[in-house]
Amino acid sequence: MKYKLKTSFFLITLFTLLGISCKKNSVNPVLSEKQVDLGTHKLMTYSSSSGSKYLIVFESGLGNDASVWTEEKIRKPLSGISDMLMYDRAGYGKSQKGPSPRTIDRLSDELAAVIAAVAGERKVIIVSHSLGGLIARAYAFKNPSKIAALLFLDSSHELYNHWTQDEEDKLYDETKKTYGAGPGVLQEVRELREDLEYMSTLPNLPNVPVTVITSMQTSAGVSSADKQLWYNAHESLKNGVTVFQHLSTIKSGHFIMLDEPYLVIENIRQLLSKLP
Domain count, the chain: 1
pLDDT per residue as tens digits for the range 106-132 = 999 999 999 999 999 999 999 999 999
Average pLDDT over residues 158-164: 87
Q: Is residue 132 included in any domain, yes or no?
A: yes
| Cβ proximity of 88 and 43 under 8 Å | yes
Q: Is residue 2 included in any domain, yes or no?
A: no
Q: Is residue 228 included in any domain, yes or no?
A: yes
Does pLDDT of 171 surpass 60?
A: yes
**pLDDT value at position 35?**
97
**pLDDT value at position 4?**
41
State the average pLDDT for the chain.
Answer: 89
Q: Is residue 15 included in any domain, yes or no?
A: yes
**pLDDT value at position 221?**
76
Residue 17 banded pLDDT, cuts 50, 70, 90 = low
Residue 212's domain comprises: 7-273
pLDDT per residue as tens digits for the range 190-246 = 999 999 999 999 999 999 999 999 999 988 778 899 899 999 999 999 999 999 999
Q: Is residue 1 included in any domain, yes or no?
A: no
pLDDT per residue as tens digits for the range 238-276 = 999 999 999 999 999 999 999 999 999 999 999 999 999
Does pLDDT of 168 surpass 70?
A: yes
Q: Select the more confidently predicted residue: 40 or 6.
A: 40
Q: Is residue 231 included in any domain, yes or no?
A: yes
pLDDT per residue as tens digits for the range 84-97 = 999 999 999 999 99
Q: Is residue 170 included in any domain, yes or no?
A: yes
pLDDT per residue as tens digits for the range 63-75 = 899 999 998 899 9
Cβ contacts of residue 273 below 8 Å, gap of 6+? none
CATH of the domain at 91: 3.40.50.1820
Q: Is residue 257 included in any domain, yes or no?
A: yes
Does pLDDT of 14 surpass 90?
A: no
